[in-house]
């Protein structure tokens, strides 16, 4: 059971890093999201972010969905860390 929890925590941490990279790359308007490796990053992160985009619409052209996405990942990671092995 501890291997499963450790693996999930590692996955959540790695996915959080991918989301950070995704959010930072949106600051560069010249990036072509149809070229690799950006297309792969978008395919990995966009389905998760789209869940939160349906909850929080962009306000004034600013997308606040990554904030909620990070909060959900941090909550999941905290809950997994609280489980005693």
Residue 69 burial by Cβ neighbours in a 10 Å radius (0-12, 13-18, 19+): buried
Cα–chain-centroid distance for residue 71?
A: 10
- 10 lies in which domain range? 2-28+35-82
| pLDDT tens per residue, range 40-50 | 999 999 999 99
Number of domains observed in the structure of the chain: 1
27, pLDDT greater than 80: yes
61, pLDDT greater than 90: no
Residues 6+ apart with CB under 8 A from 53: 63, 65
pTM of the full structure? 0.87
CA angle 52, 31, 61 (to 5 degrees): 40
| Residue 1: pLDDT band with limits 50, 70, 90 | confident
């Amino acid at each position: 059971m501890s291997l499963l929890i450790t693996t999930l925590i590692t996955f959540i941490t790695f996915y959080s890093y991918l989301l950070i990279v995704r959010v930072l790359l949106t600051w560069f308007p010249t990036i072509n999201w149809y070229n690799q490796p950006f297309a792969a990053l978008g395919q990995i992160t966009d389905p998760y972010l789209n869940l939160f985009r349906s909850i929080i619409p962009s306000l004034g052209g600013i997308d606040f969905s990554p904030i909620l996405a990070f909060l959900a990942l941090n909550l999941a990671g905290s809950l997994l860390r609280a489980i005693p092995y």
